[in-house]
Structure 1
Amino acid sequence: IDLLIWNQAVAENPDPKRLIPYAILGFEQLKERQKLQKIERGVHNACVEELTKRLENLEERVVLKQAKLDELKNSQHKVYHRLLTVLGRYFAQTRRNYSFEPNEENLKSRIDAINAQLNGPAQLKNRLAEIASNLNVLSRAPSTIPITTTTLVDEEPLDEDLLLEIKQFLRKSQDTVDHLTQTLKKNQEDITVIQKVLTPPTTLNIYFRSETITAILWKTNDGNFQPNGTKISLSFGYVPSIALRSVPSEKASTTNLHYLS
């Protein structure tokens, strides 16, 4: 190989740390070099496929192990919960005949104080109800009620937690009002149905049983239909359709219709 060509190949090497010049003389050496490259590429592809299969197997094993780990965690949580339940019952049985400890007394007194602050007269709950009523009044008639802002300037702004509690209380109050409204509507519907049942009918219905229709009417001497009147039997021949005429409610309410065999 010419030294000048070799030096030029060394100088033009794009990556000297990874690549080295390789001298090829003639077409036969070039063909042999291409054949070796194909063999090496096949070896690399086989290694890559084997590594891919190993990675897939490892991923499947990881998924199975993760599922087993989750199952063990659930079992541990169940056992932990059962253990806490048993310990709580055992502690409750052992402490049944003992008096309250000082920290328990302090906790009870604090809870009672908080309950008094919430549900006591002129406390937070009543104040929230008053604020809710004022807000409802302002929302219904905003233009007719004068709003003074001088008294609000001197007061401190409300805390975010207090505002959140106020919103929650107002939401619960609104839900209660909605439930009460629905209950009143349902009761009104029931009352309407009861009134319809108690109201005397205005028409006399005749039902077909066979080709002959027989009706029993109770009629008094003055012409009104009453239960204590005289029984009158009326027989009609077979009629495909009969137009029924309305009668006054005071007569229809005391009219009884029965089937006769």
Structure 2
Amino acid sequence: LQSQLCACKLSAEVRPSSNQLTAYFENPPAGIDKLIWQQAQADNPHPDCTIPVPLVGFAELKRRKQEQVAFSQQQSAILKQIGEVVQQMKTGQLAISQKLTQLKRKQIEISHRILNVLRRQEVHRRAGFAIRVEEESLRCGLERIWSEITSPRGLRIRFQDSRAALNASTESMSVTEKENVAGLGAADRVTADPRYNWNLDADAWAELKEYLSQRQSGIREIQHLISEMSGTLKIMEDGPTSSAQSGNKLSAKPLSRATPNKVSFALNTRAR
């Protein structure tokens, strides 16, 4: 049989019996410690399908590693093929769904065309015949529906009025909201606006108060300085006589009673 099949060796794959497995497990191979053999039996992931096999030497270990690598590559190739098949099936499913949608649309168009053809055929066929009672009742019903739609107080006019009223109510509500927001006080606007929802501690409030008081003092000083300069310009416009008469008063009166720092602060603020 081997010569007929051109095979080197033929061996039957027969599952070992339970007695053979028991004898194999009880007698460890040569050169293998009994504890290691028992541990290998305990670590067997599939006791029903696999049995521990000893590996002697680096050549056996290398061969086992190469077999595992080849098996892993084979599994990866099979998974890749399965993934390609799944992708092709998904693409085919998408194409079929698109084609089905087109066919449904075409079916609807054809059904409409068939209805038009049947309508025209029925009209030509019924030409010259008297109108039946069912047709008359149907015509009356259609005319009544059309009159309800197109009458001065019909559905179309009511729909337009309802739409206009809805738009007007929406605009009035928006205007009312704007007026309510505009009618709020400064504190209410600050409180209502989430951008001004500040959380400041006592020190921050004190610094802010001091800064605002300094700005207010600077504004007062610049106002006083402007009033004094306005008085000086008025004296200069009146003439030298009034200037000479009021010279003593001007020499006795200081130009500005503000401190240099505050005056410079006010001037810098005005220049900006």
TM-score scaled by length of structure 2: 0.37
Q: Larger relative CO (CA 8 A, sep 6+): 1 or 2? A: 1
Greater percentage in strand: 1
TM-score (norm 1): 0.38
Higher helix share: 2
Report which of the two structures shows the higher radius of gyration computed on alpha carbons. Answer: 2
